[in-house]
Structure 1
């Protein structure tokens, strides 16, 4: 093929390394070995043939400084380093079968296929023996990855949920309303005692009951000038109460009385009677319903549409 290669193979995992060399001097070989050692670490021993590159003083000094035991095979007996010689033959046969592309492309494709193919001695692929996992290959594209598919679906569901969800930051001692599922009163006031989970809270009601609710069933409560202690009792202040519109006129001391016949209402300047027992704070006073007034309707004349008749 007209190219020189530096071929290395791991005795444990049968991982194959092959590099195209411009020359086979000791200096160039040491540079390639440093590149390989930076990825896989320093080996305990290195077995080579008796080429001049491996027997020179420069190479021996490199082995000594890195604590690598250098073993050379017997002269004129390639079988002494049979693992490396077999790797050379496998590389040559594989590159001959590769078609298309440059020599660098052919080498990369061969090494990729070799490293993910189970080896006859170990029964496992060199990549699995060395890295402890199967690298992704083209065949994996035909076999769906159920775990990755589920993770992608969960990410999409989270994105859709977060798009409409509001960020809520609840913490202990916050006054809240909790959703009630046992009686007609839908929301009950209380205070958060603790957080029992990522989105669950333990709430103590004003009547002393303790309930656990999801944050979707909690609403922050804002009472004017009123706080609640950790034991669930109210402390100081007053509650802001809105007066219903239907009783606003009576609170001002006037009552609206409908007139008879003409449909107009007259205003009585006398103050409305005050009940002997005032209603409790936060409740509207009972008001007698008056007769509804005359309905007002539009007097506008409606003109029928002009339609085209043929």
Structure 2
């Protein structure tokens, strides 16, 4: 999870930030507009999400003070969440949510070009679109992996091109989707492994193996407060 912002201009309702979360297994994403990002506000937004989607076993948290505060650690302890922190100055560690943040900001910029202070009203429609599109890495839509069914999109509702569901008993309704979900998750897991192998292959083409000796001086890249970089020996 991560916090995007401050977003300029702020929404007409005073939102300046957005809390973003993405599930690594299903790629299901959430984004919550926030007026402020103190620990209490962020914790309340997280609890609201967990109350709808369920509490995760573990979470990868950005190194921001709001997400790594004592209050947030206590919330995770009470909910039974294993809290993990991202590696400082290493965006690749949180690449999924960083990639989603970039997609979200690009779409908001295009949709709100004429009414930029209305960006908070476009969050949910954008999330709907993102969740119902099959991901290249899993070959399934995030909505389908999470809820065990496909979502009815607007085109289907307008054209009435919707298949009538098969009538089943409650017992069949519970057990059959569970079996399909297990099969679906197995396929998605295999596709994720293939995608990771492809990414590793492309990365390794330009990677160079370097051997360092104890006591050897190296250059370290350190970000400054002005978001510029400086080199130190």
Give the distance between the partners of 1:72 and 1:137, measured in 2 at CA. 36
The reply to whether residue 137 of structure 1 matches residue 153 of structure 2 is: yes
The reply to whether residue 38 of structure 1 matches residue 51 of structure 2 is: yes
The reply to whether residue 60 of structure 1 matches residue 73 of structure 2 is: yes
CA offset digits 1:252-301 (Å, max 9, x no partner): xxxxxxxxxxxxxxxxxxxxxxxxxxxxxxxxxxxxxxxxxxxxxxxxxx
**Structure 1 residue 97: Cα displacement:** 2.2
Judging by fraction of residues, say which structure has more helix: 2
The reply to whether residue 147 of structure 1 matches residue 164 of structure 2 is: yes
Q: How large is the RMSD of aligned CA atoms in angstroms?
A: 1.9
**Structure 1 residue 142: Cα displacement:** 2.4
Give the distance between the partners of 1:67 and 1:33, measured in 2 at CA. 14
Determine helix, strand or coil for the equivalent of 1:71: strand
In structure 2, the residue matched to 1:122 is 138
- Greater relative CO (CA pairs within 8 A, separation 6+): 2
Contact 1:98–1:110 (CA<8 Å) still a contact in 2? no
Judging by fraction of residues, say which structure has more strand: 1
Determine helix, strand or coil for the equivalent of 2:45: helix
User: Could you list the runs of 4 or more consecutive aligned residues of structure 1 that deviate by over 4 angstroms after TM superposition?
Assistant: none
Correspondent of 1:24 among 7, 22, 37: 37
In structure 2, the residue matched to 1:89 is 102
Gaps of 5+ in 2: 1-6, 9-15, 168-233
Determine helix, strand or coil for the equivalent of 1:52: coil
Correspondent of 2:125 among 99, 109, 112: 109
Contact 2:19–2:33 (CA<8 Å) still a contact in 1? yes
Give the distance between the partners of 1:84 and 1:28, measured in 2 at CA. 20
Q: Using structure 2 for the length normalisation, give the TM-score.
A: 0.60
1:92-241 equivalences under 5 Å are 92-99=105-112, 102-140=118-156, 141-142=158-159, 144-145=161-162, 147=164
The reply to whether residue 80 of structure 1 matches residue 93 of structure 2 is: yes
**Structure 1 residue 144: Cα displacement:** 2.5
Q: Using structure 1 for the length normalisation, give the TM-score.
A: 0.46
Give the distance between the partners of 2:18 and 2:149, measured in 1 at CA. 28
**Structure 1 residue 143: Cα displacement:** 5.3
Give the distance between the partners of 2:88 and 2:120, measured in 1 at CA. 32
Give the distance between the partners of 1:96 and 1:125, measured in 2 at CA. 24
CA offset digits 1:125-165 (Å, max 9, x no partner): 111111111121112122533538xx9xxxxxxxxxxxxxx
Gaps of 5+ in 1: 152-310
In structure 2, the residue matched to 1:293 is none
**Structure 1 residue 88: Cα displacement:** 0.9
Give the distance between the partners of 1:49 and 1:71, measured in 2 at CA. 9
Contact 2:61–2:68 (CA<8 Å) still a contact in 1? no
Determine helix, strand or coil for the equivalent of 1:55: coil
**Distance 1:61-1:143 versus aligned 2 partners, 3 A rule:** same
**Distance 1:80-1:144 versus aligned 2 partners, 3 A rule:** closer
Larger radius of gyration: 1
